[in-house]
Structure 1
Amino acid sequence: MEITAQPQSGEPVKYSQELTAAFAGRGSRFGGETNDYYFVANGRYMLILGKYFNTMEVRSLVKTIYSTYFMRPQLGLPYSVEFAKTKPVQVEWGDEDGVSFIRATYHSSSRPGIVIERLARLGADGLFSQQWSIINAGEEPAANLWFKTMINFDNVWPVLPLRGRIIEARDGRSYLGAFALRDLTENWIYSHTGNRGLCWAKDMTIKGDDWLWLETDLGTLAPGQQAEIKPIYLSMNTFGSWQEFRQFALQVNEKENITSTDSLEAVVNGGNPFVSGDYELAVYQHQEKNFSAQVTASSASGSFAPRRADAVGNRASLTLPELPPAGFDAVNIAVETTGVDYQRQVAVFSCGGQVEQKQQEQEGIKVLTVDNGPVSFSAAPAFGPGVFSLIFQGQEWFDASFPAPGPKSWWNPWLGGTGVEIQSLSGKSLLRQPRSIQFVCLPDNLGNQWQGLQIEVDVREHEK
């Protein structure tokens, strides 16, 4: 751009300034260079390598409040800061199979003969990776060689694998630096801010707080030897959830539905909501910061007066009174800390009372019923493979055609209630199959004993 400045007196002053802007959009893929940086754009995402500090920024072209920076490489020990100013000797950019890349080559002066190749890739789906090659191009062995890179990963709502559990800061206020990263038990972290995930090779060590350090011991490189630093991945809206990103990071395909634990966790009766007698309420702070708090527990039904306790270490606990037989309650929990108050609620159920198993005739059909007082449900093998009645405190909650199946709207036959469906087997075919119902008693994973009905269908008349 040509610019002319006209002073009040004297000759006009003319100068030129180069202006650069990247106008990317869905489906676009290109790269280039400005006075300040190299860049590639792929779809809604952009990768920028600064010329002055060798900082690489991964940016969404949609306006956001977060950013992610991958800093310069460092060689040690001790670690050098030479690449804070040393420019790469060569930079290339382009795309391969729809993935954009920037490749930069650095020559070290602190470790003569060492060449570093930096390769960053960016997909249109928001998946970024960065990997390094460390080459001894000199004539002498390079001993005690370490590699480190720093990452600025803005993270206000983190999910982390800590001490064998998945901890999630569900309050949306906690930063990554509030957690002890030394206790990570898997090779990933996730942020709900921007739906971003960061993962690294399992043999790399992570340190830091709000800033992350990823480092690895390269040992000794002989002349001509090359060491590869496995890719570090950043995903931006690439995966639908932290569970999907975790499977990518671990390279597994798990069918189990993994759940997280709140970073401020409220636990009744050791995690078992079914209680007998007095029981304990414990509140745990899974962050590393000091847990200076007062915890107040109160009953939503007013069954007991509020009780209070101060936190000791990362934990506060109270003893709450016994529930009436076959009773239930919601415990309201107020956690008062310096500057922020938190509210939690947990449900508890009494193990008192008896469960009655009844067998009787209704409408000339044998009916099996399980009844614990507040709740009862019934099924009849001659009617169909399901529960046709659910009563809570005297109120029927199911609509059903009992005692006989019949048409309703576009369903024919229609049974109502809740029951069994088998794929590729019509309702009429299902009713032709032999079936049976019996009383059963089964324990759950916490040792609670449950009584109910077991419904079995023996598919015999359905040849395909």
Structure 2
Amino acid sequence: MKTTLQQVKIVEYHEGLAKGIAKMWNESRENWGGDSTVTTEQDVKDKEANSTNLHLFLAMIGDEVAGYCGLSEYREDEGALYIPLLNVHPKYQGLKIGKQLVLKAIEKTVELQWPRLDLFTWPGNTKAVPLYKKCGFFWEDRDDTVHLMNFIPMVLQIEMLKPFFEKHDWYETSQRLIEIKPDALKVNDHTYYEYKWEAGEEFVRIQFERTGRGIRLIETQDYLVQMILPEFKLLENEDHYVSYHVENRSKEPIEVSLKGVSSPIAEHNFEDTFLVENKWMRDYPVKISMPESKPGPWKTHPTIGADFKLNKQDLSLKMGVYPKQAGKVNLGSVKKNWRPHSKGTVYLDLESQVGEDSTWTVKLPENKVICWEKSDVIERISAKGRTSIPIPAQLLKNGFLSEEIVIEVEWENGHQTSFTTTLRCAFPGFGAKFGGETDEHWFGYNGPHFVEIEKRNHMVKIGSTAFSRDPISLFTPKFGKPYSEEFSKKEASCIEFIELPEALVIKTSLVSEAFPSILLNSYFKLYGEGLVEVKHEVVNKGIDDKKRLSLIQPVFTNFEGLAVPQNNGVLIGNESLVPFVEYIDDRAISERWMFIGTAKGDTIGLAWPENATVRKDDWRMALEYEMDLLQAQEELCLGPIQVGINVSNHWSNWREFITGEDVELKELPLFAFEKAKGDVVSTLGVKEDYSFKSMMTPYIHGRLTVQHEDETLVKEVLKDESVTHVNVQLEHCSPGVRWVSGEFIAKSQTARMDSLQFVKGNRDVKIGQNDDIWSVDNGVISFKVSSDYHPGIYSLSLSGNEALDHQYPTPGPRAWWNPWGGGIAYSFRNVSAYSMLKEKTTIESVTKVDHNGHHWSGLSLTTEFKQHETMKGVILRQFALTLPEVPVLAVYAEIHQHSGQTIDKEILDLDAFFKLGETLQSSYISLPTEGIFHKYYAGSEEFVLRDTPFVKLGSDERKEMMTFVHPADRKMSEAYINQDALLVASSKEWSASTGEIIKIDPSILFYGELKDTDTQSLKTLQNIKFS
């Protein structure tokens, strides 16, 4: 059955409709750029429970939600309501549902007696602009945003126009020309918006002035009333005149009275009463003074106007003005790094705001921050012209320059005037902490790090002058519930800069009107190292207790390089894809921190206290506090929220700083193709579960193709199936190092991936002893250790081909080492090779179980230190383990600390010496690199090769390659080659109290080649742990 407009009903939201709203959003993604966000019923309930909407209107067709329109108080300006979100289901577009929803919002705005309704959209949303304009919205001509204002609610509340609109529908009688471009009727730098309605012989024409948001002209068939200002920008302390006009087109005289309306910046005092039979016009004086802060595009400007009575019916006319001085002065610098006593150039920018040429005299003041090379400036400036004057200067100290100056201006006609302004400029630098303010912001610096607070809405940015990325933003805090946007249009009542020995503190105070008697003090404690602690102090200044009060602090930053703890691991933003906030499951965040890193090395850490809850707040994250009871006169301190600007270079360091725990967590990629539980070990002849999965909330949809040995599996998944993973079962037919390759093709993405598997066979691992030599043979590789030779693995071979360099049976000098045993061995950095050989080493066969329950067999080498003075009582246990019929060797160590003293920041080294051919000169090493050299040969020149997560080794004499994977938590790794050796090494820093056991993560060595780009298999290998 065809859906008709009559079937559409507009209702208000209740929780019973949450499931239908979720369905509407999930089926409307094409309206919003085609993102893959998945909305659940609970998501809707949570969002609407915490929304600032006064009303939420839904268009219903039967039981289905076809449209959505919120109505809230406008957060940027006073005197307006706001449509924060409007959507129509794609299936029902063309039924004028959007029109019905907007008209309902206008109707409610009139009912609530608000004068204006605003909304924002994006420039490309041309399809919706005609709808908005037909419903009375004007598109404001601005560069920074697409803002639309609707004055229909004010029009419908004008008493003298009610007879017209009671007879005629305002939507149907509108005569406005609809064009898809910003609206602007410009006169003397003012911008007017004009409505016109016609019905037979009757008509109404009204003009609104953009910046004052008020009526400047109203015309009907019976009368015309208007006001005219000479200019939009009016000079301070000069006489200006406002012209008022009344035209009577009726047969009877109109009794008119009017009264000038003064304001803090406009002196416009007069009263007048008269009869108008035909036309009347009169000019009244007004004098302008400068406001404390200059008007901005987001807020209503200061106004000049008058209150009329026409035949005892009220009408107010007003227009916005921009008070100006004779000119504007700004001091700036393009130099990034100013150091005390360094010289450079600052720029004095002068802008004339008078209509003829003038000569300016500026005397730059003596101050404690900067020394001018010349302090007197005389400059001729053309009418309304601009010039920038370079001023050589020397910085005396890092800080904030804020000096009041008087500018003398002489016009061409000899008229002289002067104006006072303030020179302001920040000169941050290492070790300097200071605060300051500009017309728009308060800010504090400590070294290169800063906190910037926007005055008009208390939006905070935290960053660094050395940052290559955008700062993190703390949006306007909100009290609730229901949450109020009141602070988004309110300047802090006071601000303090508090200098402490260790930090700079900025304190702001916001007085709530939505929650009477409640005061919010915010403290931003800025350390020189880049840490910022944010505390909120909630004060009940009233005589009554407050119950169930909430505070929410929205936070926004780009999620490039994201790390967030989820499900006993850490979700890592390893893809080119930068996740939207909606892609993160906030309910799965398991610890109180997150971390952002970029390719250029800049990092942001965020953490919150135990009593705060992290959740989504529309397109932002937010931290929410719940206060069950705030007693009269009580002060409750919340926080701190912690922001780290380049404080930590890795998420694990930030986590350790926040939680105090150095417990390793598994990294979870956004997407993965792997065996169940991320397992890297499979069993020959057993069906194993593999999956392609997403760790984000959007459902995956597309075709998965899996190549395994001679088998190809294909599986399709549709979006309607609402899954985040696709499963397949595979059976491995041969043991060894095996690769399972996959491809996932969706309409918008293509992925190719490989999963490395160690497929263990059915043969037993043979372990034997012959005199001092212990040997392990898994059917493919064998390795040997000797208690009489050297505490390490001295031999490793595949099919009889030796891979390690050693000189069994007697250690001796080699290159820089003496005695040198070669092979693979752990050693303490503060224990020499000679001292190591003095200690007794015992060997035994062992079986160890990895974190997924697989049994690895091999040897342990136990060295108990009894001779060494420092390490006496310490036991070093080295483990060498393998799997049946898999050419893999895992080595790791345990340190049993029984020295009777605390050992701090000791280094355990792992050295592995290789010779993979008959001659050292045929052996080479290959490392992941961004450079052009990818292979280095031993036996010739000396090279030190940098830290990489793994290396590949081989010989020109043999076809097999080896891969050596370092543990993720190493302190560092390197490779070193010269004419006598090929060494692969890593080190781990450890500290332990007596009685403690330290376990060193495994290094994994296998025959096979890991791709440089295969980070998933690398992480899987680095995740191997033994109990």
Corresponding residue of 2:441: 37
SS in 1 for 2:782: strand
Paired with 1:203 and 1:245, the residues of 2 have a C-alpha distance of: 20
Which of 245, 266, 269 is equivalent to 2:673?
266
Paired with 2:815 and 2:555, the residues of 1 have a C-alpha distance of: 60
Paired with 2:560 and 2:640, the residues of 1 have a C-alpha distance of: 24
Closer/same/farther in 2, CA of residues 24 and 342 from structure 1, 3 Å limit: farther
Corresponding residue of 2:805: 399
Paired with 1:162 and 1:458, the residues of 2 have a C-alpha distance of: 41
Q: Is structure 2 residue 661 aligned with structure 1 residue 253?
A: yes
Corresponding residue of 2:629: 220
Closer/same/farther in 2, CA of residues 77 and 426 from structure 1, 3 Å limit: closer
- Give matches, 1:299-378, under 5 Å: 299=708, 303-311=709-717, 313-324=723-734, 326-357=735-766, 359=768, 366-378=772-784
Contact 1:159 1:167 in 2 (8 A): yes
Cα deviation, residue 348, structure 1? 0.9
Cα deviation, residue 216, structure 1? 1.7
Moved over 6 A (4+): 8-11, 13-17
Q: What is the count of residue pairs matched by the alignment?
A: 455
Paired with 2:630 and 2:739, the residues of 1 have a C-alpha distance of: 63
Cα deviations by residue, 1:133-181 (Å, 9 ceiling, x for unpaired): 1111122222332222212222223211223332112104132331111
Paired with 2:500 and 2:736, the residues of 1 have a C-alpha distance of: 65
Paired with 2:546 and 2:767, the residues of 1 have a C-alpha distance of: 81
Cα deviation, residue 418, structure 1? 1.7
Cα deviation, residue 62, structure 1? 2.5
Question: TM-score, length-normalised on structure 2?
Answer: 0.42
Contact 1:154 1:210 in 2 (8 A): no
Amino acid at match of 1:318: V
Paired with 1:38 and 1:9, the residues of 2 have a C-alpha distance of: 35
Paired with 1:145 and 1:444, the residues of 2 have a C-alpha distance of: 49
Paired with 2:425 and 2:752, the residues of 1 have a C-alpha distance of: 47
Cα deviations by residue, 1:168-211 (Å, 9 ceiling, x for unpaired): 12104132331111221211121123311111112212221531
Contact 2:655 2:661 in 1 (8 A): no
Contact 1:169 1:264 in 2 (8 A): no
- Give matches, 1:54-453, under 5 Å: 54-175=458-579, 176-193=581-598, 194-208=602-616, 210-250=619-659, 252-254=660-662, 256-276=663-683, 277=685, 278-299=687-708, 303-311=709-717, 313-324=723-734, 326-357=735-766, 359=768, 366-422=772-828, 424-453=830-859
Greater mean alpha carbon deviation, residues 423-432 or residues 445-454: 423-432
Relative contact order (alpha carbons < 8 A, sep ≥ 6): 1 or 2 greater?
A: 1
Greater mean alpha carbon deviation, residues 414-423 or residues 88-97: 414-423
Amino acid at match of 1:315: H
SS in 2 for 1:83: helix
Paired with 1:460 and 1:122, the residues of 2 have a C-alpha distance of: 50
Structure with more of its chain in helix, by fraction: 2
Cα deviations by residue, 1:188-237 (Å, 9 ceiling, x for unpaired): 12112331111111221222153122222212322211111111111111
Paired with 1:141 and 1:409, the residues of 2 have a C-alpha distance of: 79
Closer/same/farther in 2, CA of residues 434 and 74 from structure 1, 3 Å limit: closer
Amino acid at match of 1:132: H
Cα deviations by residue, 1:420-442 (Å, 9 ceiling, x for unpaired): 43455432333233333233333
Contact 2:463 2:645 in 1 (8 A): no
Greater mean alpha carbon deviation, residues 453-462 or residues 443-452: 453-462
Which of 1 and 2 has greater Rg?
A: 2
Cα deviation, residue 5, structure 1? 5.9
Computed over aligned residues only, the root mean square deviation of the Cα atoms, in angstroms, reads 2.6
Cα deviation, residue 72, structure 1? 2.2
Question: TM-score, length-normalised on structure 1?
Answer: 0.90
Paired with 1:89 and 1:458, the residues of 2 have a C-alpha distance of: 69
Paired with 1:108 and 1:207, the residues of 2 have a C-alpha distance of: 24
Paired with 1:41 and 1:459, the residues of 2 have a C-alpha distance of: 53
Closer/same/farther in 2, CA of residues 92 and 387 from structure 1, 3 Å limit: same
Cα deviations by residue, 1:357-393 (Å, 9 ceiling, x for unpaired): 36576xxx64222112321101222222221111124
Paired with 1:81 and 1:358, the residues of 2 have a C-alpha distance of: 72
Q: What 5-or-longer segments of structure 1 have no aligned partner?
A: none
Paired with 1:243 and 1:201, the residues of 2 have a C-alpha distance of: 18
Closer/same/farther in 2, CA of residues 283 and 369 from structure 1, 3 Å limit: same
Cα deviation, residue 395, structure 1? 2.4
Closer/same/farther in 2, CA of residues 433 and 24 from structure 1, 3 Å limit: closer
SS in 1 for 2:475: strand
Paired with 2:769 and 2:514, the residues of 1 have a C-alpha distance of: 89
Q: How much identity, in percent, do the aligned residues show?
A: 22
Q: What 5-or-longer segments of structure 2 have no aligned partner?
A: 1-328, 330-349, 359-381, 385-408, 410-417, 871-1027
Closer/same/farther in 2, CA of residues 39 and 297 from structure 1, 3 Å limit: same
Contact 1:157 1:172 in 2 (8 A): no
Contact 2:767 2:858 in 1 (8 A): no
Amino acid at match of 1:204: A
Contact 1:67 1:154 in 2 (8 A): no
Greater mean alpha carbon deviation, residues 145-154 or residues 423-432: 423-432
Q: Is structure 2 residue 351 aligned with structure 1 residue 3?
A: yes
Paired with 1:458 and 1:225, the residues of 2 have a C-alpha distance of: 62
